[in-house]
Structure 1
Amino acid sequence: MSKRLIRFDWAVKKLLRNKANFVVLEGFLSELLFEDIKIEKILESEGNQETEQDKYNRVDILVQNAKNELVIVEIQNTYEIDYFHRMAYGASKALTENLSLGQSYSEIKKVISVNIVYFDLGKGKDYVYKGTTNFQSLREETFTKQNISDIFPEYYIIKVNQFNDVAKDTLDEWVYFLKNSEVKDSFKAKGLAEAKEVLDVMRLNQEQTYGYNRYLDYLHVKASEALSLKIQQEELMEKKIAEAKEKVRKDEKIEIAKNFISLGLDNTTIAKGTGLTAEQIEQLRSEKE
């Protein structure tokens, strides 16, 4: 029987920073990255901000794994047109802020940016994407540095709402949880058994329950705002299309009227054939002269 579980985005901010609960986040990252991830520590990041706006527009956590790599986990619920730019900014900032003064560039830590989005980002139809940096010769020459992608940031995007709820493997089981806040009894993915216990809503104390319910209310408000904006944009687009069609029709009528004038037809006949007024037809006559 499935339990009502806490949303992962709220849990990341409030519960999973606790070292005792690292196993949940480690499980998620292990399934996504296809390797066993051990979190050494949670680093300070913009995700520690507490304002309402920060809940949507800040990096959630910055993790250092056993390989001394930096892993950014960011969760975004509302649409941002420049989200790809922000991904690049977040990875760059994590890289530069964790290189101490006087250290050589060779000591730069690899950055892995994990982005969980609950809106339609980009044009792809899949729900999990990976991006790396590689160099290709323009003249078929051999590039001396091997595995250049081991240096540059690596990006993952999980488009949660794109998932069809059919879990075919352990990563899908995690995506199912991210979308539905539910762990099925049959799921075997790393960290999900612990998530089922740690993220049980019934385990929240009174203060946490109040904060979580406020967060859910805020998500509803943001969803309503996003829907209203979408409707307004659609209405504006429909209006522009209608205006464009009307302009085309008017231009066509004017061209027909000009042809009728050239044929020597009177204003009454032209008006009946085009729907233009007598004044508009006279204006066309004067322009022709």
Structure 2
Amino acid sequence: MANYIRFDWAMKRLLRNKANYAVLEGLLTTLLEDKVKICKLLESESNQEDEYDKYNRVDMLAEDSRGELILIEVQNNNEYAYFQRMLFGASKLVTEYINRGEGYEKVRKVYSVNIVYFSLGHGKDFVYHGKTEFRGIHEGDLLELSPFQRQTFKVDQVSQLYPEYYILKVNDFNRVAKTPLEEWIYYLNTGEVPEGATAPGLETVKEQLQLDRMSQDELKAYYRHLDNIVILRDNIQTERAEGRAEGRAEGREEGLAEGRAEGREQGIREERLKNATAMKAAGIPIETIAQITGLTVEEIKTL
């Protein structure tokens, strides 16, 4: 199975190219269960990156053919207040994209799509959808739009007027991909496209996001990014392990430090070996692979 560029890196460097919109359109069409056509990408105060964020998160704001706004965010690092940040981002878009003096009927629909590579909250599923509904506290009925409102706003339900949230907990996916959405989650998790995948956009991934399309400098930057991801995940796992062991492991400060360092080094080495194997399979010269990954020529030859 061929290896492809991870989605978060592609978001930073490749998917802003209009020729690659089909990748994003495929993901959104599969997730929203509605044909999505991206007209343009937008810049907003909500999706600016600072120096810390450059390896930690990626925001992309798109406008579809119906004028709806779609905020796509990738988050690699654990953030306990992430739910609130989702709310802040969607709310800010609502206010940014309405002109002063316009009526509230001009408020635009916002979708917040969040691809998180850490354990967010507590739940059994790997894809969650949130929307706003109003139910009577006495009768339990769902508040509906009037016929005039349906005709004016061209929607059927009150919830369609409000921001909707999608959370893709890709690290929690550990099954065989059988549906188009599962095929996408598999790619987001592993960087690989399942054999026989039919989900919209994944064919473009196979055509446009191959490792062997990257220059040597791009490959170096890409694998530094993967090393950072390994370190982030190792830190998260270490924090959990320390929390479970707290109170039972007195006097082992030095051992924990050594264990963290060894685990981090081992994780990075395993990732480099995996990447070197993929590059070797893609026909990249062994000497180039050695320069990019830091492995020796002899180590690469044995892969």
Task: Please say whether Structure 1 and Structure 2 have the same fold, judged by a TM-score greater than 0.5.
Answer: yes
Instruction: Give the TM interval when normalised to the shorter protein.
Output: 0.7 to 0.9
- Code of the residue aligned with 2:115 in structure 1: it is I
Match of 1:155 in 2: 165
Paired residues in the alignment total: 238
RMSD: 2.0
Query: CA 1:163–1:124 in 2, change beyond 3 Å: closer, same or farther?
Result: same
Unaligned runs of 5+ in 2: 147-156, 251-303
Identical-residue share of aligned pairs (%) = 42
Partners in 1 of 2:22 and 2:39 — Cα distance? 11
Q: 1:224 aligns with which of 218, 229, 234?
A: 234
Q: 2:178 aligns with which of 168, 191, 196?
A: 168
Contact 2:7 2:188 in 1 (8 A): yes
Unaligned runs of 5+ in 1: 241-289
Query: CA 1:156–1:232 in 2, change beyond 3 Å: closer, same or farther?
Result: same
Match of 2:59 in 1: 60
Match of 2:116 in 1: 117
Give 1:43 deviation, angstroms. 0.7
For the pair 1:32 / 2:31, whether they are aligned, the reply is: yes
Alpha-carbon displacement from aligned partner over 1:169-228 (angstroms, at most 9, x marks no partner): 111111111111111331111010110121101101233222212211211221222223
Q: 2:205 aligns with which of 173, 195, 198?
A: 195
Match of 2:224 in 1: 214
Greater Rg by CA: 1
Q: Could you say what secondary structure the match of 1:60 adopts?
A: strand
Contact 1:60 1:73 in 2 (8 A): yes
Give 1:229 deviation, angstroms. 2.2
Partners in 1 of 2:25 and 2:99 — Cα distance? 26
**TM-score of the aligned structures, taking structure 1 as reference length:** 0.77
Contact 2:9 2:222 in 1 (8 A): yes
Match of 2:69 in 1: 70
Contact 2:69 2:110 in 1 (8 A): yes
- Code of the residue aligned with 2:126 in structure 1: it is Y
Alpha-carbon displacement from aligned partner over 1:97-143 (angstroms, at most 9, x marks no partner): 11122222111111111111112212211111111100011233784
For residues 263-274 of structure 1, the aligned pairs below 5 Å read: none
Match of 1:261 in 2: none
Partners in 2 of 1:199 and 1:39 — Cα distance? 19
Partners in 2 of 1:98 and 1:238 — Cα distance? 54
Alpha-carbon displacement from aligned partner over 1:55-102 (angstroms, at most 9, x marks no partner): 325x51011111111111111112111111111111111111111222
Query: CA 1:148–1:237 in 2, change beyond 3 Å: closer, same or farther?
Result: farther
